[in-house]
């Protein structure tokens, strides 16, 4: 989406210009060819729709990234708790004297 927008901006920047430098002509032609490939025969370039969609996707990515980081912190905390519980259990097992079972005679 970002590449589509960049190429559309380049295309519209140079479209209709009578005299272009060689570098500008190359950029314009590359943008035109790129857009021709992604437009699937359509003639109107939906730059506004692309920008709207890009902004929406960027905001969604930001929200998801924040949720991911929060969940990552929760996992770290849960892992630390798990390690602490196992450490305490191992320590208690070492401190208890071994249990001996005595045979009872009837």
Residues 64-102 have pLDDT tens digits of 999 999 999 999 999 999 999 999 999 988 888 766 666
The Cα–Cα gap between 75 and 63 comes to 18
Burial class (CB in 10 A: 0-12, 13-18, 19+), 11: buried
Predicted confidence at residue 85, as pLDDT, reads 94
Mapped onto helix, strand or coil, the DSSP state of residue 83 is helix
Gap between the Cα atoms of 35 and 42, Å rounded: 10
| Statement: the pTM of the whole predicted model exceeds 0.75 | no
Residue 7 has pLDDT above 70, yes or no: yes
């Amino acid at each position: 989406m970002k590449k589509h927008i960049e190429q559309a901006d380049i295309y519209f920047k140079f479209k209709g210009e009578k005299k272009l430098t060689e570098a500008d002509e190359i950029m314009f032609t590359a943008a035109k060819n790129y857009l021709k490939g992604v437009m699937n025969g359509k003639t109107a370039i939906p730059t506004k729709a692309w920008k709207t969609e890009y902004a929406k996707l960027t905001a969604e990515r930001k929200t998801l990234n924040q949720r991911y980081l929060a969940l990552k912190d929760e996992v770290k905390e849960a892992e630390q708790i798990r390690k602490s519980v196992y450490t305490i259990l191992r320590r208690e097992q070492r401190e208890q004297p071994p249990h001996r079972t005595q045979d009872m005679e009837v």
